[in-house]
Amino acid sequence: MKKQSFTQYYRKHRTAIVTATSGLLYGGGWSLGYLTGFEMASAAILVLATVVGGYDIAKTAYHEVTNRTLGIKTLVTLAAIGAIVIGEYWEAAAVVFLFSLGSYLEGRTMRKTRTALQELLEMTPDTATVRRDVELQEVPAREVEDGEIVVVKPGEKIPVDGDVVDGQSAVNQAPVTGESAPVHKADGDEVYAGTVNQEGALEVRTTGAGSDTTLERIIRRVEEAQEAQSPTESLIDRFAKYYTPAVIVLAIGAYAVTQNAILSLTLLVIGCPGALVIGPPVSIVSAIGNAARSGVLMKGGEHLERAGKIDLVAFDKTGTLTKGETTVADIEGFGIADDEVLALAATAEKKSEHHLADAIVDAARERPTAATDGGAAVAQADDTDAGRQSIPDPDDFDVVAGKGVIAHTDGTEVVVGNRALLDDRDINVPSRIADYVRKREERGETVVHVIRDGDIIGAIALRDEVREAAPSVVAALQDAGIETVMLTGDNERTAAAVAEEVGINEYRAELLPENKQTVIEAYQADGHVVAMVGDGINDAPSLATADVGIAMGAAGTDTAIETADMALMADDLDRIPYAVKLSKATRWNVLENVGLAVLTVTVLLAGVLTSYVTLALGMLVHEASVLAVILNGMRLLRH
Amino acid sequence: MSDTTQFRVLDFDCPACASTVERALTNVDGVQHVDVHYATGRVEIEYDDSVAEPGAFAQTIENQGYTPQPA
């Protein structure tokens, strides 16, 4: 039993034990070398140190050679054997020990980078309490079927994705969305596996379990992103293809000229492109991992490197800078009752999916009395809530994109739309109405006109509150030297009012969806690297056009995650300055690592050719540079 | 029939080490495609399950001097 656990311990810590033993032998042999009369013993111990430390390296080198790859382990093995052959035992032991120590430390630190994501997965509980035939059963979380009801007690982690069917609670969604504040969940709300139910018991109807949860999908995507090569990485890979053979030719040439075997072996060892090929992937994997834990999905190193160059951020107004919860702020009837204006507008807008239409229809439903007598009798399935008004269907209905709707009901034509639609139809706007519209627009509201059979009968002012975080986010970007622009389909005055409220320096108003793309292209033509922030669904084309498309509130909407280069899992604007700064830091970090690697190799090369750098010193500096780039890259995990 | 399996190797210490493992796995009988990612340590093997012996994969990775873990 004891022997068994020792074997296990040895297997687990083999590299550390081997490195330490080799190091002790090396130290002993080296010290002994200073005593006269012990030269032979010293040499023997140093050879032993080389064999102990070099066995594993040589074994891998053998596999490298049989698989016809040329790796650093082959070169180190050659160098150690060469040094022993020419009697430089100290050099042989030093090279092997320093290489083992370096590899051990590199492996350990890389392990941390590689497991950063796994911590997220460990958030998901292994078992779930499922209601089966009235009884509650504890089953493995992976085996919960879609549609089954899972009971989650307060304080427990939610084991599956699903919709709340009973109970309400505050849920901490940090593992999925990165938001630190808990989110209130009640009937019909979506919950995600791995999030924490903090307050009340919840019953959840399962929509995904096991590997089919949002968290698992996020982690798969993040890994794909980490594995995708960035342009810098591909460049270095191409370079390394020529570089390594070039070093070998140089080493052979150096031997031919100087007949100095140690010199050419030293060239081989320091010529390995270690820090150069390791640096960029470590930086990018660390940055993408860090972003994922903060609820920001980055699609890959390529996008990250491009994001590092962003100098202009374009925000879509609705749902991005504003909350996207438009409500009716005011109704003004001209010659007829306000309620009648709202009721007519609601009928016209009933079949529209526009967010302004939703607000008008909702407001009409909430009104205590309806001016429409005809429609009230026709009870609609979705209008049966007590105290809510039903809204009659229009006879027909047409959308004029970016302008409004035209509908017919009870033999009259009802048009609801903006100024552009009025101009199209040559409708005259009385000054009283124009004044009302201007006053509301200057407050950042959007006004639609309601027209019955060619006469304006009223106007409805709609308000979409600015997100609390918007002004500070805009300020943070501007402080970082990034320009901000707001794009909106809204009219000039409303746009100006909202832009002023959030502190944005430039806005483009009255844009049709396709115009947003054109505006972005124009900024790109001016030499800007443009990021576009939007909801990922309506803004998909402009997100695709921008250099970096950033989708907000992407948890649960796979299309947004697919189309965007960067997806914010939560509806949290604060993540944008964070993501932009992280991208910039990553770009610098990659440059630092490449610079450090090139500098190290250049200095070492010069040192070797001028005989200042020995084999052991070369190895020490080489391994130190590899470790330095890994540690530098890992700083991004804690950015 | 074609099947895939994954491992995670946390102790790759250089990108070339990952390529060595990739080549070694490609040479195993019945293996159709191998992806080894240095950055994440993920090893993905696509194989013909009428020919390949999945137990051989972990052994091959160990032979190269690395520790495979189930992923």
- Whether residues A69 and B20 touch (CB distance < 8 A) is answered with yes
C-alpha to C-alpha distances, B13 to A82, A230, A341, A478, B39, nearest whole angstrom: 24, 20, 72, 41, 10
Write down the ipTM of this complex: 0.81
- The domain locations on chain B are 2-70
> Residue A330: which region, alpha, beta or left (left: phi > 0; alpha: psi -120 to 50)?
beta
Q: What share of chain A is helix, strand, coil (3-state, %, to 5)?
A: 55, 15, 30
pLDDT-derived band of residue A368, with 50, 70 and 90 as boundaries? low
Q: Which residue would you say has higher pLDDT here, A11 or A630?
A: A630
Q: Alpha-carbon distance A363 to A453, whole Å?
A: 23
CB A505 within 8 A of CB A480: no
Residue of B nearest to A301 (CA): B39
Q: What is the mean pLDDT of residues A442-453?
A: 87
Q: Give me the pLDDT at residue A49, please.
A: 92
Q: Chain A: nearest CA to B50, how far in angstroms?
A: 25
Q: Closest by alpha carbon to A299, among A381, A220, A357, A359? A: A220
CB B23 to CB A111 under 8 A? no
Residue B4 is inside which H or E element, if any?
A: strand B2-9
* pLDDT tier, A369 (very low <50, low <70, confident <90, very high otherwise): low
Q: How much is the pTM?
A: 0.79
Does residue A373 surpass a pLDDT of 50? no
SS3 state of residue A87: coil
CA dist., res. B26 & res. B60, Å (int) = 10
A65 vs chain B: nearest CA distance in angstroms? 9
Distance CA A257, CA A278 (A): 32
Q: What would the CATH number be for the domain defined by B2-70?
A: 3.30.70.100
CA dist., res. A317 & res. A313, Å (int) = 12
In chain B, residues with a C-beta closer than 8 Å to the C-beta of A277 are: 14-16
A625: left (phi over 0), alpha (psi -120 to 50) or beta: alpha
- Taking Cα atoms as reference points, which of A537, A557, A551, A550 lies closest to residue A580? A550
CA of B8 to nearest chain A CA: how many angstroms apart?
A: 9
Q: Which of A281, A152, A162 is closest to A227 using CA atoms?
A: A281
Lowest mean pLDDT among A70-84, A179-193, A555-569, B46-60: A555-569
Strands A312-316 and A483-487: parallel
The reply to whether residue B20 touches residue A64, judged by beta carbons under 8 angstroms, is: yes
Cβ of A63 within 8 Å of Cβ of B37? The answer is no
Measured between beta carbons, which residues in chain B are less than 8 angstroms from residue A73? Answer: 17
Of the listed ranges A137-141, A240-244, A338-342, A604-608, the least confidently predicted one is: A240-244
What angle is formed at CA A17 by the lines to CA A267 and CA B15, rounded to 5 degrees?
45
Q: Which residues in chain B touch residue A590, judged by CB atoms under 8 angstroms apart?
A: none
Residue-averaged pLDDT of chain A = 85
Q: For chain A, which residues lie within 8 Å of any Cβ of chain B, measuring from their own Cβ? A: 15, 56, 59-60, 63-64, 67-73, 103, 106-107, 110-111, 113-115, 117, 223, 226-227, 274, 277-278, 281-282, 284-285
Tens-digit pLDDT profile for residues B2-41: 888 989 888 887 777 788 888 889 989 889 999 998 888 8
- The residue in chain B having the minimum alpha-carbon distance to the alpha carbon of residue A61 is B64
pLDDT digits 0-9 by tens, B41-70: 889 999 998 888 878 899 888 888 788 887
pLDDT at A158: 92
In chain A, which residues have their Cβ closer than 8 Å to the Cβ of B23? 67-69
pLDDT value, residue A555: 67
CA distance A573 to chain B (A): 29
Q: How confident is the model at residue A523 (pLDDT cuts 50, 70, 90)?
A: very high
Question: Percentage of chain A with pLDDT > 90?
Answer: 24
| pLDDT tens per residue across span A55-71 | 988 988 888 788 777 77
C-alpha distance from residue A597 to each of A240, A585, A623 (Å): 13, 18, 11
Tell me if A374 sits within 8 A of A391, measured CB to CB.
Answer: no
Predicted confidence at residue A371, as pLDDT, reads 45
B24–A67 CB contact, under 8 Å: yes
pLDDT score of A87? 86
Say whether B39 and A226 touch across the interface (CB within 8 A). yes
pLDDT of residue A292: 87
Minimal C-alpha gap between A362 and chain B (Å): 49
- Residue A317 to residue A201: CA distance in whole angstroms: 37
Q: Are A284 and B39 inside 8 Å of each other by CB?
A: yes
pLDDT tens profile A192-215? 998 989 888 899 999 988 888 888
Contact A67 B39 (CB under 8 A): no
Q: Can you give the pLDDT at residue A2?
A: 53
**Contact check, Cβ <8 Å, A227/B40:** yes
> Which residues of chain A are within 8 Å of residue B11 when distances are taken between CB atoms?
15, 107, 110-111
- Residue A461 structure tokens: 């002012």
Confidence at residue A381, expressed as pLDDT on a 0 to 100 scale: 43
Considering only CB atoms, A114 lies closest to which of B10, B19, B65, namely B10
CB nearest to B14's CB, from A113, A114, A278 = A278
Looking at residue A375, what is its pLDDT? Answer: 42
Residue written as tokens 């993920």?
Answer: B42
Whole-number pLDDT of residue A314: 95
Q: Which of B14, B40, B41 sits opposite A71 (nearest CB)?
A: B14
Query: Which range is most confident: A129-133, A229-233, A574-578?
Result: A574-578
Interface touch A69/B27, C-beta < 8 Å: no
Please check the confidence at residue A372 and state whether its pLDDT lies above 80. Answer: no
Q: From A593, A580, A574, A606, select the one nearest A633 (Cα to Cα).
A: A593
Average pLDDT over residues A349-369: 78
- Show Cβ contacts of residue A7 under 8 Å, excluding neighbours closer than 6 positions: none
> Would you state the pLDDT for residue A528?
95
Q: What is the three-class DSSP state of A165?
A: strand
Q: What are phi and psi of A574, to 5 degrees?
A: -55, -25
Question: Nearest by CB to A285, which of B13, B14, B40?
Answer: B40
Specify the range with the lowest mean pLDDT, choosing from A147-161, A533-547, A591-605: A533-547
Q: Does the structure show a pLDDT above 80 at A556?
A: no
Reported residue count of chain B is 71
Please report the beta strands in A426-520, taking only residues with DSSP state E, as ranges in sequence order: 446-452, 455-463, 483-487, 506-508
- Show the tokens assigned to A252: 């052979």
Q: What's residue A558's pLDDT?
A: 65
pLDDT at A592 over 90: yes
| CB-based contact B13 A106, cutoff 8 Å | yes
* Residues in chain A closer than 8 A to B68 (CB atoms): none
Nearest CA in chain A to B11: A107
Q: Is A199 exposed, middle or buried (0-12, 13-18, 19+ CB in 10 A)?
A: middle
Residue B58, both tokens: 């972990």
For an interface test with A, the pick among B40, B42, B59, B69 (most A C-beta atoms closer than 10 Å) comes out as B40
User: What H or E segment, with its residue span, contains residue A27?
Assistant: helix A14-32
Rounded to the nearest angstrom, the minimum Cα separation between B1 and chain A is 23
C-alpha–C-alpha distance, residues A461 and A447, integer Å:
4
What residues does A456 pair with on adjacent strands?
Answer: A451
The encoded tokens of residue A99 equal: 């290489």
Query: A212, A237, A316, A358: which is the annotated catalytic residue?
Result: A316
Tokens of residue A558, six digits:
């796979």
Q: Rounded CA gap, A565 and A563, in Å? A: 7
How far away is chain A from the Cα of B70, in angstroms, using its nearest Cα? 13
Biggest alpha carbon–alpha carbon distance for chain A: 117
Asked whether the beta carbons of residue A107 and residue B19 sit closer than 8 angstroms, the reply is no
**pLDDT, position B15:** 78
Q: Exposed (0-12), middle (13-18) or buried (19+): which is A543, by Cβ within 10 Å?
A: buried
pLDDT (tens digit per residue) in A472-503: 999 999 999 999 999 988 888 889 999 999 99
pLDDT attached to residue B51: 87
Asked if residue A370 has pLDDT above 50, the reply is: no
- CB-closest option in A56, A117, A277 to B15: A277
Counting one residue from chain A and one from chain B, the pairs whose CB atoms sit within 8 A come to 77
Q: Which residues, at least 6 apart from A541, have a Cβ–Cβ distance to it below 8 Å?
A: A513, A514, A516, A517
Per the listing, tokens 């293809």 go with: A241
Residues of A in contact with B62 (CB under 8 A): none
- Whether A539 sits among the annotated catalytic residues: the reply is no
